[in-house]
């Protein structure tokens, strides 16, 4: 989702745990929905992609411009900090060190004029670096995660100073109660406390200290649905309480959350016809209006199911994702996944951008690659040292911040 503001809701009536007397459980229902999609479009009836990993890698590499930044999709010079962080992690995992360094070198080159002066890098800009917009905490946390992957794989201190500056800024955003301010909108207004960004920053800042402890206190007091056992995205707005990526990402970040967190994402499952391929696709929406299959978020769910060794479910999701892979219109031997399978609304009532369902997108393509190769960007730096008393998902917190 990468910080969407609005949602629609549907009352959740699915049951999490196993039931008696033949009632379908949410676990079984997830399998049924995906099984039906596979029966309607059996393997072999849709076009297979030749050498998908090579074709997808080629497409991702060709998105990188002379500045080092990668454009988020074709036929656009739009770039995002989040997409470039994902691309850096992808390149590191693929052993393409120089490609990752080009991304980091760009942000290092503007750190004095942007990160140190404004606090945080801008979220959006053109691929030549012009027209920067909006400082969003969550994307800055993602670029720190990417830097952590680089440092870990290459045992290099090359970008340690940049990583430390990002960490310092993220820590500075903590407010009374333990939450983190979201940053600054383009109009100068303050971005409020956003669950997705808070948990990403929790993971990005290495180690475990008062910063992390206070975040857990905030989440336990303000964003934890104890009845359902999951984190809420926007509890202040009952219609928009839950979001897909808060569920999938939280399970990756907090390893010992119940696996049921992932099965509760059943509330977002839906079927759509892919705009380009014409295939029937089963997957997950941003929210409960179920008007699109969000391919990035669906791929994140496949990664999460890999993480709990439910490879049967991740395979079914991946099979559906592969029915949306489309050819590049500008690069030979290149393919990718659109951001969504069809056109509709984003997180809430806002319409998606015009080419979201017809042009390959970095985020969806990279998360699909992570799922396909069994890679999980949260495996690095998972907090194994969290004291039991700080785990809000295990107990009710009554202490004061």
The pair of structure tokens assigned to 63 is 């998105």
User: What sign has the CA pseudo-torsion 99, 97, 359, 298?
Assistant: negative
Contacts 24+ apart (CB under 8 A), 330-333: 330/74, 330/75, 331/58, 331/59, 331/62, 333/54, 333/55, 333/58
191-207: average pLDDT: 97
Question: The pTM is what?
Answer: 0.88
Alpha carbons 314 and 394: distance in angstroms, whole number: 27
Helix/strand/coil for 63: coil
Does CATH place domain 26-390 in 3.30.1490.100? no
pLDDT at 395: 73
* Rounded-to-integer distance, Cα 380 and Cα 147, Å: 11
Q: In the prediction, which pLDDT does 107 show?
A: 98
- C-alpha–C-alpha distance, residues 20 and 212, integer Å: 40
pLDDT tens-place string over residues 221-243: 999 999 999 999 988 887 789 99
Which pLDDT score is estimated for 164?
98
Asked if residue 178 lies in contact with residue 215, where contact means CB atoms within 8 angstroms, the answer is yes
Q: What is the mean pLDDT of the chain?
A: 88
Distance separating alpha carbons of residues 358 and 356, to the nearest angstrom = 6
51 pLDDT band, cuts 50/70/90, is very low
The residue-averaged pLDDT of 9-14 equals: 26
Cα-to-chain-centroid distance, residue 330: 27
**13: pLDDT strictly greater than 60:** no
> Can you tell me the distance from the alpha carbon of 204 to that of 183, in angstroms, rounded to the nearest whole number?
16
Burial 287-302 (b: 16+ CB within 10 A, else e): bbbbbbbbbbbbbbbb
Pick 19 or 377 by higher pLDDT.
377
Res 116: pLDDT: 94
pLDDT, tens digit, 9 for 90 and up, residues 301-319? 999 999 999 999 999 999 9
Q: Which residue has the higher pLDDT, 97 or 21?
A: 97
Q: Given a cut of 50, is residue 161 above it in pLDDT?
A: yes
- CA-to-CA distance for 63 and 71, rounded, in angstroms? 5
Alpha-carbon distance values, 270 to 116, 213, 260, 357 (Å): 44, 37, 19, 16
């Amino acid at each position: 989702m990468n910080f969407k503001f609005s949602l629609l809701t549907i009352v959740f009536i699915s049951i999490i745990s196993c039931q008696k007397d033949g009632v379908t459980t949410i676990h079984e229902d997830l399998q049924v929905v995906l099984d039906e999609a596979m029966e309607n479009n059996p393997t072999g009836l849709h076009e297979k992609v030749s050498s998908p990993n090579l074709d997808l890698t080629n497409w991702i590499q060709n998105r990188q411009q002379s500045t080092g930044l990668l454009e988020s999709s074709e036929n656009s010079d739009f770039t995002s900090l989040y997409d470039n962080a994902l691309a850096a992690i992808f390149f590191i995992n693929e052993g393409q060190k120089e490609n990752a360094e080009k991304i980091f070198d760009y942000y290092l080159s503007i750190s004095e004029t942007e990160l140190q002066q404004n606090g945080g890098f801008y979220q959006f800009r053109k691929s030549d670096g012009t027209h920067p917009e909006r400082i969003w905490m969550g994307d800055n946390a993602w670029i720190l995660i990417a830097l952590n992957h680089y440092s870990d794989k290459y045992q290099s201190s090359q970008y340690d100073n940049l990583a430390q500056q990002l960490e310092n800024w993220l820590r500075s955003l903590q407010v009374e109660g333990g939450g983190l301010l979201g940053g600054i909108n383009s109009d100068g207004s303050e971005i409020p406390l956003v669950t997705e960004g808070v948990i990403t920053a929790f993971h990005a800042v290495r180690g475990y200290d008062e910063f992390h402890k206070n975040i857990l206190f905030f989440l336990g007091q303000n964003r934890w649905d104890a009845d359902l056992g999951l984190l809420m995205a926007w509890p202040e707005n009952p219609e928009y309480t839950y979001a897909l990526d808060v569920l999938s990402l939280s399970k990756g970040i907090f390893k010992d959350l119940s696996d049921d967190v992932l099965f509760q994402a059943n509330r977002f499952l839906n079927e759509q016809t892919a705009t380009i391929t014409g295939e029937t696709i089963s997957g997950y929406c941003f929210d409960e209006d179920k008007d699109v299959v969000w391919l990035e978020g669906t791929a994140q769910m496949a990664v999460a199911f890999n993480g709990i060794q439910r490879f049967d479910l991740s395979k079914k999701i991946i099979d559906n994702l592969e029915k949306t892979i489309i050819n590049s219109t500008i690069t030979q031997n290149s393919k990718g996944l659109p951001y969504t399978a069809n056109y509709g609304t984003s997180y809430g009532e806002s319409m998606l951008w015009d080419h979201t369902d017809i042009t390959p997108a970095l985020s969806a393509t990279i998360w699909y690659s992570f799922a396909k190769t069994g890679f999980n960007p949260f495996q690095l730096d998972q907090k194994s040292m969290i004291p039991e008393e700080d785990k809000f998902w295990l107990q009710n917190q009554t202490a004061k911040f």
